[in-house]
Structures are given as C-alpha cells and as structure tokens.
Amino acid sequence: MISPKTADAAPFTPKHTYSTGTATPPIAQQLHDAANGYSMAPAIDPQLYHHQSLQHGFENMGLGENTTANTTMNAYDFTVGAPVNPYAQTGVDMFYQPQQTYQHPLNYHLYAPLAPYPQKLQPFQKNIHGFFLSDNLREELQKKIDATLQTLPAVSSILPPSIEEYHQLVPLDTSNQKSAQVFGYPSWAYKAFSSEDGNAYALRRLEGFRLSNEADIRIIQRWRKVLSANIVTIYDAWTTTKFGDSSIVFVYDYHPLSKTLAETHFGPNPRYPNPTRQHQPTGPIVPEQVLWSYIVQIASALKVIHSAGLAARVIEPSKILLTSKMRIRLNCCGIFDVIHPETTRSQESVRECQQEDLTQLGRLMLSIACNTPTAIQYPQKSMEYIGRHYSIQLRDSLYYLYTGSTKNIDEYVKSIANQAFQNFDSALHYEDSLESALSRELENGRLVRLLCKFGFINERPEYDHDPRWSETGDRYYLKLFRDYVFHSVDENNNPVVDMAHVLTCLNKLDAGVDEKIMLVSRDSMNCFVVTYKELKRQVESGFQDLSKSRR
Ligand SMILES: Nc1ncnc2c1ncn2[C@@H]1O[C@H](COP(=O)(O)OP(=O)(O)OP(=O)(O)O)[C@@H](O)[C@H]1O
C-alpha cells in the first residue's frame, strides 16, 4: 500500500530566474510582481542550486529529506552535468553562454516534446498523445505485466507448489505434446516467482535426465557471466525429483509474451504465411531487412559466446525467442554443455561446436528466408529461390555459412559490417522514439499527487459549515477552480471534456505560475481574478490543515 504520506511530498516551488547573470530581477519583472502583491522568490544561489534541484526530484517522489539553506554542497562539484566551455582555453568564449544565464530551474509545467515528431501540429495544437504513451506501447507493456503476474491455480494440483526457491509455476508451453527433438529429452518451460527476490523467472525442465557427474553442472557458472542483449541470461541449474521423475531444471530470465522463431515463422499463425503451405520455397514474403536483423543479432550473440570460449549449440527456430519488436535472444544456452559435457572438455571440440554454430545459423536463415523449415533438404532449389528474391550479399552470406566455408565468427562479423551499421541505426531510431515516449509520462506522476491532494481537500462534508469555504471565505476559489478545470461548459451548455485543458491547468497550478485566470461563481453572479500562485498556496494550506488534524 502507498503511504498517505506520499501526497505530503514537498510541493514544487519554481523560482524566478533571469537571464542577466545576476540575482537581480529585471525592472519589468519587479513591477509585475509588485503589482501582483507577491514577494519575490529568493534569488538563486549557484552554490545551492544544483543540489536543491537534485534534491527536489527526490522530494517530489516523497522520498527525500528536507534540504536546508545551509547546504554547503557546491554545484560545480558535480562533474557530470556542469557544462563544459569548449572555447575557454582559446579566449573566444564571448559567444558561449555562461552557466548563470541558463534558465534554472526548468519550467516543469511546460511540456516540450522530443523528436521524432510523428505528426506536424500547429504550435497551439495539442493532442492527447502529446501527454501520454501511445496506446500500442501502453497496451504491449500492460499485457506483458499481466502475463508476468498471471497465476494458474488450476495447475497447482499437477505441478509441485515450489522447487528450490521458486513457486507458483505456470506452464509456458503452448502444447502438451512434447518432442525430445532438440535436447534428446522432453523439455518443459514454466514461469515461476523467486521467493528470494520476488521476480519472475523461466524454468526449463528436461524430463528424465540423470546427472552422472555433479561437476558437469558447474559450467553454468561460466554461462552466467555471458551477458548479451541477444541471449536469455541463465542463472542456475539443479536436479530435482519434485516432478515425480528425475529432472534437471535450468533457470533463465523470463521474457513475457515472447514467441519462438518457429512459432513466428512456421507456427499455426505465422507472421509471414507461406501461401501454399508446402515444403517448397514461396514468394518473397519475409522482408530482407528482417532477415539481416536476425542475422546481425544472432551474430552478435555468437561473438560474445565464442569470445567466452563457449559455443551456443542451440541455433534452432524453437530456441530463439522474439521478445519484443524485432528483438531476438538465444534461449536455452548452456543446456547442451551440461547434458553432453564431453564436448566442452577440449579446445578442439569447442572449436568444432563453434563452427557448427555458424553452419546452424546458415540453415536457420535459409529456412526462414524460404519460409519453410525443410528448406535445407532442397539446398539447390532453396539457393535458386534466394538468388531470385534477395540480394547477392544475402545469398552469398547464407551459402558460406551453411556450407561451413565461414571460418569463424570474427571473420563473419567483418563480412556483414554494413548490415550491422544499418541495424545499429534502426536500433538508435527506436531508442529515440522510446525516449520521446518516456518524456511524455514524465510529469504524470506529479499530477497524480496533485490530484490526490485536490481530492482530499475538495467537497469534504466537514467543510460545509466552515466559513473559510463559504462564498466569502478564502478557500472558495478552490471550489471554483475545480469547476473551471473539470466542469466547464461551452456556449451551448455542453460539457467541455478537454484533457489538454485539464493537464495544462493542473501543471500551472503545480508550478504556481503568476498567470491569472477568471473564476465564475456557479450562479454566474460573481467573478474573481486569481493567479495560479494564489490557488497553489490555498491547496497547500488546505492540505496542511488536513494533515495537522490527522496527527
Ligand atoms: N525465457 C523465457 N521467457 C518467456 N517465455 C519463454 C522463455 N522460454 C520459452 N518461453 C516460451 O515457452 C514456450 C515453449 O518454449 P519451448 O522452448 O519449449 O518451445 P517449443 O516450441 O515447445 O520447443 P520444444 O518442442 O523443443 O519443446 C514458447 O512459447 C516460448 O516463447
């Protein structure tokens, strides 16, 4: 449960800043403040500013301790964040803005969207997507959370309630027909929660496996250190009899809602359906860009694995996970090294396995490009097909791989460097769009806290007889402000449901800006001109009063 104290978080107090580089406000601003009857906010002390603004972030999260004016931390103690003047040594720094002229603190009530801008809008236009995550991304993330938290009480009678530190097992397999094709043992995948850290993990169980030598499992310690964005990280392995047989279980990161490449390309609902459903290559359906992206990502994983003196040995369509948009990861790494330890005992056999990884990569990509898992059985036809529909670079690259002509991963990575750069560029574009999406959510947590305070204060029955809330009382504005924000009507008396208006008003209230608004009484007989600053003061004092009466 979130403590009600969270709403107690220190309010956001922007300070006046002026670009003259001095602490004195411009005359126009002084007149404006005087006319409004407000005293000046304290001038910025550069010694304090940086620390305060950092601290402010924590306070706003309801986590911080109060800062005091005696803080002695020097803003320039922070090497990161202090701007560097590139002209300082050359004597041509007159065009370089000194630090004091930056407008600090930032105007938190203003939204400044980050590129890329999907739609061109006029400066005064805003749409709801400018404030929140896109529906698609939100839905995807929410579904992932749902899948992570899902439990299946119905299976609790079939599966053990816990194994080692893991409990609440949920089967991940999409069918209960198990083949032993890949590992030689039927394998099962489960999601489970760890009681040590509360996180979800994927457990991979090989049914009927007996470990003959305890030392064989130690290789997992080496695999734990193999970290790559294209590998599902492994954590642990142990044998167990809790399933009613002798099984071995491997613990991996859980990636909710992932699909294997087999499910994606050859499953019942393939992403690029083969129109004839025959084991023959068909039309150029999988875009070449997708193929290169897979190749580059798998090559990147292999580079890390081979550099660690290991071999992947699971370049199989059913053992590669598509964990989000165009993101693939090698799954089940390390299992073969435990169940067939003989192949890891000499450098020569490891090298053979590494060579086999490259051949398997060629076979895998051949089958995906030809849209059929059996493409490798017709190498001639498949290559002709690829030659007809894809670039020469792709055709040659696959040919060298699956025929075993590529000597090692380093050589291969060099040969696909141009594709790796393209892939890198796409990844950076995607990162930009995610960062832009993140910035839209930035202020929303703050607004929720403000709304909570507002909810605590407004329309409390015990205020009914409080003179401060009566039509002549000083809190009356808050009531009218609530009407102004949420209950406006248009000229035809229809409700105005405008999220942008609500968010803009709340942001200005939170920042306590000097802007004035006109509030009209419910009977339209009176109107009041009041600043957000004044309203903010009233929200704070209303909330403080409530908090005091709580104690
Ligand atoms: N680490 C993981 N995180 C999330 N989901 C996973 C993870 N590992 C596997 N899965 C999911 O579990 C399901 C079963 O995976 P599995 O590797 O057993 O595939 P399979 O097609 O059943 O292969 P096989 O026939 O070899 O068992 C797949 O849908 C896969 O996406």
Structural domain includes residue 177: yes
Q: Evaluate: CB of 264 within 6 angstroms of ligand 1.
A: no
Confidence of residue 472 (pLDDT cuts 50, 70, 90): low
Mean pLDDT taken over the chain: 77
Does residue 376 have its Cβ closer than 6 Å to ligand 1?
A: no
Of 351, 385, 407, the residue that ends a domain is 407
Of 247-261, 273-287, 315-329, 506-520, which gets the smallest average pLDDT? 273-287
pLDDT digits (tens, 9 = 90+) for 447-468: 888 888 888 888 777 777 776 7
Q: CATH no. for residue 303?
A: 1.10.510.10
Task: Examine residue 151 and state whether it is found in any structural domain, yes or no.
Answer: yes
- From 177, 321, 329, the mutation candidate for ligand 1 (largest count of ligand atoms within 8 A of CB) is 321
Same domain, 379 and 499: no
Does 300 sit in the ligand 1 pocket, CB within 6 Å? no
Residue nearest to atom 13 of ligand 1 (CA): 173
Cα angle 443, 447, 448; round to 5: 120
SS3 (DSSP) at 171:
strand
Give the bridge partners for 516, in sequence order: 531
> 342: domain range?
146-407
**Final residue of a domain: which of 387, 407, 427?**
407
The 10s digit of each residue's pLDDT in 339-381 is 999 888 889 999 999 999 999 999 999 999 998 888 888 888 8
Which pTM value belongs to this model? Answer: 0.68
Q: Is the pLDDT of residue 166 over 70?
A: yes
Helices within 458-498 (DSSP H only): 476-486
Pair (317, 395) in one structural domain = yes
Coil/strand/helix, residue 324: strand
Nearest CA to ligand 1 atom 11: 172
| Residue 508 in domain | yes
Identify the pLDDT of residue 158: 85
Residues 536 and 397 grouped into a single domain? no
ipTM value, please give it: 0.98
Contacts by 184-193, CB closer than 8 A, 24 or more apart:
184/339, 185/209, 185/339, 190/159, 191/148, 191/150, 191/254, 192/163, 192/166, 192/167, 192/168, 193/166, 193/167, 193/168
Estimate to the nearest angstrom the gap between the alpha carbon of 483 and the chain centroid: 36
The answer on pLDDT for 39 being more than 90 is: no
> Is residue 118 in a domain?
no
pLDDT at site 14: 40
pLDDT band for 131, please (50, 70, 90 cuts): low
For 119-156, give the secondary structure using H, E and C.
Answer: CCCCCCCCCHHHCCCCHHHHHHHHHHHHHHHCCCHHHH
Same domain, 192 and 249: yes
Residue for token pair 């956001």? 12
Residue 414 is classified by DSSP as H
Q: Same structural domain for residues 391 and 505?
A: no
Indicate whether residue 166 lines ligand 1 (CB < 6 A): no
Provide CB contacts within 8 A for 290, sequence distance 6+.
Answer: 326
What count of other Cβ atoms lies within 10 Å of the Cβ of residue 61? 13
Q: Which residues contact 101 (CB under 8 A, 6 or more apart)?
A: 19, 20, 21
Ligand 1 nearest atom to the CA of residue 232, by list position: 1
323 part of a folded domain: yes
Are 458 and 355 in a shared domain?
no
Residues 248 and 383 in one domain: yes
Q: What is the three-class DSSP state of 60?
A: helix
Residue nearest to atom 22 of ligand 1 (CA): 173
Nearest CA to ligand 1 atom 20: 318
Domains in the chain: how many in total?
2
pLDDT for the residue 367: 94
pLDDT level of residue 433 (50, 70, 90 thresholds): confident
CATH of the domain at 502: 1.10.287.3700
The torsion angles phi and psi of 329, rounded to 5 degrees, stand at -140, 140
Q: What is the mean pLDDT of residues 72-85?
A: 36
Query: Collapsing DSSP states into helix, strand and coil, what is residue 228?
Result: coil
Our mutation pick for probing the ligand 1 site, out of 143, 172, 269, counting the most ligand atoms within 8 A of Cβ, is 172
Residues 388 and 465 in one domain: no
112 in any annotated domain = no
Structure tokens at 172: 């991940």
Rounded distance between C-alpha atoms, residue 281 and residue 110, angstroms: 55
Report residue 543's pLDDT band, with 50, 70 and 90 as the boundaries. confident
Q: Check whether residue 221 and residue 344 sit in a common domain.
A: yes
Ligand 1 centroid distance, CA of 271 (Å): 17
- Residue 202 in contact with ligand 1 by CB distance below 6 A: yes
Answer yes or no: is pLDDT of 2 > 70: no
**What is the dihedral sign for C-alpha 30, 32, 34, 40?**
negative
Q: Is 213 contained in some domain?
A: yes
Burial of 498 per CB tally in 10 Å (0-12, 13-18, 19+): middle
pLDDT reported for residue 327: 94
Instruction: Quote the ligand 1 centre to 212 CA distance (angstroms).
Output: 26
Nearest-CA neighbor of 339 among 252, 204, 222, 212? 212
Check if the beta carbon of residue 458 is closer than 8 Å to that of residue 469. Answer: no
Q: In 160-312, which ranges are continuous DSSP H helix?
A: 219-224, 261-266, 288-307
Mutate to test the pocket of ligand 1, among 173, 179, 254, 264 (most ligand atoms within 8 A of CB): 173
Helix H or strand E encompassing 413: helix 409-415
Please tell me whether 318 is known to bind a ligand. Answer: yes
Q: Looking at the domain assignment, is residue 532 inside a domain? A: yes
**With 90 as the cut, is the pLDDT of residue 20 above it?**
no
Return d(Cα 104, Cα 14) in angstroms, integer.
9
* DSSP-assigned letters across all residues of 347-380: HHHHHHHHHHHHHHHHHHHHHHHHTSTTGGGSHH
Give which of 181, 167, 182 is closest to 332, Cα–Cα: 182
Say whether 253 counts as a known binding-site residue: yes
Confidence of residue 127 (pLDDT cuts 50, 70, 90): low
Claim to verify: residue 201 and residue 334 sit in the same structural domain = yes
Q: What is the mean pLDDT of residues 319-348?
A: 93
Q: 360 and 506 share a domain?
A: no
* Other CB atoms within 10 Å distance of the CB of residue 383: 20
Is residue 261 helix, strand or coil?
A: helix
Q: Is 174 in the pocket of ligand 1 (CB under 6 A)?
A: yes
CA dist., res. 275 & res. 268, Å (int) = 13
Q: Which of 407, 431, 453 is the last residue of a domain?
A: 407
d(CA 168, CA 463): 49
226 or 134, higher pLDDT? 226
Give yes or no: residues 392 and 467 share one domain: no
